[in-house]
Structure 1
């Protein structure tokens, strides 16, 4: 069996910066190759055209083309033609693509197309109660209509996407994103920076970062030496047209609180694990997610996590057992949960242990890859 992944991001030194989507794909690709499944990765929107051979995986970098007229259409056709030539040349059996922006709109493949519901613009706009550009919905709906089947990382994401796009008579399998847990070890979970709060992710409104200043202020009233560490890219804010969400955040912190905030920006992925190990508590107050790779990475490293309590998150964490679930806008309770963990080191360690056990049960890529392979085979068989 030969599987291809069409993706806008894939972690590699020669690709553009990647996020959770790329990480989840790379984890799966690595697991598939260990199971002797042949894999090709097609990364579009890159600076240059290039083919990389690495770890038994062929990575095609597809450059971004500019067009004076109907660029959204002709760029997709360019990608489609490139993919079809590789499909024929390499004997690919199935291609997988993400739902974001409906990249496979207007594309035609002679092999099955699976769309993995990483999170569409339609999905995120719904969760944020934000008006969506009609053109974006049109692209995503067209791509959905052309898919053979779907994979959702959580049941919540699958059911909501099914409702939003009115998907009928097509299979939506729930298969969690996974981790190679051998790469997520914490041999001294009892050692961490006292009263250090860590957030990892893009600084963007939908991730709930604008809730953090008030939450942090409440925590510092009881724990004045608390420290908040932020890791991730800055971004523009669609609500205010600000070019920097970090600048918006800074204005929400008091001058005194801001002295205890360290914004590190984007750092190399291989350094992030050490910051997670050093944290007392990891926080992810997001309003819109399909699963949240960094949440399960923190859990795998035996960290006590205070996460959003919306939809998908209830499939990650058992509240009060393997972490805490709180609505991002409930600043009082969010701060209380952080302080509860600050006050009780044994509780932090116990929750961290149970978080690790939960990742071993639900997010081990070695188990999940077999579910993916079985689903791929089923769809290929049905299509043939």
Structure 2
């Protein structure tokens, strides 16, 4: 089949990683095309030989950009004989839906986040569109808040890319590991809803009584400079380090002892899966999506959002209990293999594509 993957941008985020994985696994037996406004990972698609078309940004509604993009999508579908458009952004899905009225093509959407607003626009966009949700939590929101038909929604848990050619690891991380510190990391964009300030607060609370632990933030974002100021104000520069974004997170996780995820909202975050693949336990917020990855007490712990005290308590429990830590590590890998295997991920996508193309 001929597939067009469509997204607003291709950045260092979970949605782009999912598209990259689909392209890598499906390009050998299918024609795969990509369209986006570009981004930091565009070279990764080019390395795979994936043709890329550039659309105009869709994050803010601009009628002229929308018209341009709709016309471009129609042209791509005709030129490349596209059978199915798989969109990973609500606005690109809306534009694809409109384009499908003028050209014969099927549209599939992946909902990556458990949305908290814009329910009407989401319903308008996704009504009668086959939709993939990355968690049962996201599916429930589309059913209850957006009033979408359950028969059009399928949950497919994410997977991750385990292979990584770039083996270079941040020197600060290696230095801290060599000194024997217990390393706790959060890997995320540095934006408010990822709970990055909570992460710093957890670090401050923890190191008051344990000087053998260091905290690392791997990522960047609009709050990067403000967060560095926050760390400095708390006199935490010796304990909390912002390492910036990395295109080889898996390689860095090989040196990490524990991962935190302090997010306030997620879909099905990839970082816990990456951590589990390296036998690294995760302490994360008890929110939709994330709680489907973590079995409390088996491969990590779930903590209510913003509960700094309990995050600190769980870190200390793991640090002080070798038997508990080893058990969490082994269960992390076991659950990863059982629930988030790449073969399952690809097979479920292909099955859905075939259903959309041939069963309607």
* TM-score, normalising length: structure 1: 0.80
Find the aligned partners of 1:223 and 1:83 in 2 and give their Cα distance.
Answer: 56
The separation in 1 between residues aligned to 2:220 and 2:125, in whole angstroms, is 28
Show the counterpart of 1:9. 9
Question: Match of 1:104, SS?
Answer: helix
* Residue in structure 1 matching 2:24, options 30, 39, 51: 30
2:326 maps to 349
Q: 2:137 aligns with which of 137, 156, 168?
A: 156
| 1:87 Cα deviation from its structure 2 partner | 1.1
**Structure 1 residues 212 and 71 mapped into 2: Cα distance closer, same or farther (>3 Å)?**
closer
Q: Measure, in 1, the Cα distance between the counterparts of 2:254 and 2:47.
A: 30
In the aligned structure 2, how far is the partner of 1:232 from the partner of 1:260? 17
SS of match in other structure, 2:55: strand
Give yes or no for contact 1:232–1:265 (8 Å, CA) kept in 2: yes
Q: Shift of residue 349 of structure 1?
A: 3.1
Give 5+ residue unaligned stretches, structure 1.
Answer: 11-16, 127-131, 185-191, 237-242
Is the counterpart of residue 235 in structure 1 residue 195 in structure 2? no
User: 1:83 and 2:60 equivalent?
Assistant: no
Residues in 1 aligned to 2:201 and 2:27: alpha-carbon distance in whole angstroms: 46
Q: What CA deviation, in whole Å up to 9, does each residue of 1:276-295 have, x standing for no partner?
A: 11112111011100000112
- Structure 1 residues 217 and 300 mapped into 2: Cα distance closer, same or farther (>3 Å)? same
> 1:333-372 to 2 correspondence within 5 Å?
333-372=310-349
Q: Which residue of 2 aligns with 1:143?
A: 125
Q: Which runs of 5+ in 2 are unaligned?
A: 166-176
CA distance in 2, matches of 1:249, 1:306: 22
Give the Cα separation in 2 of the matches to 1:100 and 1:244.
Answer: 29
2:231–2:240: 8 Å Cα contact kept in structure 1?
no
The structure 2 residue matched to 1:115, chosen from 101, 106, 109, is: 109
Post-superposition CA distance 1:199-227 (Å, at most 9, x none): 11111121111212321122112212321
CA distance in 2, matches of 1:232, 1:56: 27
SS of the residue corresponding to residue 310 of structure 1 reads coil
How far off is 1:114 after superposition?
0.9
Q: Within 5 Å, which residues of 2 pair with 1:55-134?
A: 55=48, 57-62=50-55, 72-101=62-91, 104-105=94-95, 107-109=98-100, 110-119=104-113, 123-124=114-115, 126=116
Aligned mate of 1:42, from 35, 47, 54: 35
Any idea what SS the aligned residue of 1:250 has? helix
> What's 2:171 paired with?
none
Provide the rounded CA distance (Å) in 1 between the counterparts of 2:15 and 2:68. 23
SS of alignment partner, residue 4 of structure 1: strand
C-alpha distance in structure 1 between counterparts of 2:150 and 2:320, whole Å? 52
TM-superposed deviation, 1:101: 4.8
Q: Could you tell me how far apart the structure 2 residues matched to 1:25 and 1:245 are?
A: 31
Identify if the C-alpha distance between structure 1 residues 335 and 212 changes in structure 2 by more than 3 Å, giving closer, same or farther: same
1:296 aligns with 2:270: no
Find the aligned partners of 1:85 and 1:199 in 2 and give their Cα distance: 42
CA distance in 1, matches of 2:47, 2:74: 22
C-alpha contact 1:46 1:64 (8 A) present in aligned 2: no
In structure 2, the CA distance between the partners of 1:295 and 1:31, relative to structure 1 (3 Å rule), is: same
Note if contact 1:234-1:246 (Cα within 8 Å) is conserved in structure 2: no
* Aligned-CA RMSD value: 3.0
User: CA separation in 2, counterparts of 1:149 and 1:102?
Assistant: 14
Q: How many residue pairs end up in the alignment?
A: 342
Return the alpha-carbon distance in structure 1 between the equivalents of residues 89 and 142 of structure 2.
10
Distance in 1, Cα, partners of 2:61 & 2:308: 44
Query: CA–CA distance in 2 between the matches of 1:77 and 1:46?
Result: 22
Contact 2:119 2:145 in 1 (8 A): no
Q: Distance in 2 between matches of 1:348 and 1:46?
A: 38
Give, in angstroms, the shift of residue 311 of structure 1: 2.1
Residues in 2 aligned to 1:169 and 1:317: alpha-carbon distance in whole angstroms: 25
SS for the counterpart of 1:320 is coil
The residue aligned with 2:168 is: none
Could you state the TM-score of these two structures normalised by the residue count of structure 2? 0.85
- Counterpart of 1:254 in structure 2 is 234
Distance 1:365 1:231, change over 3 A: same
> How big is the shift at 1:44?
2.7
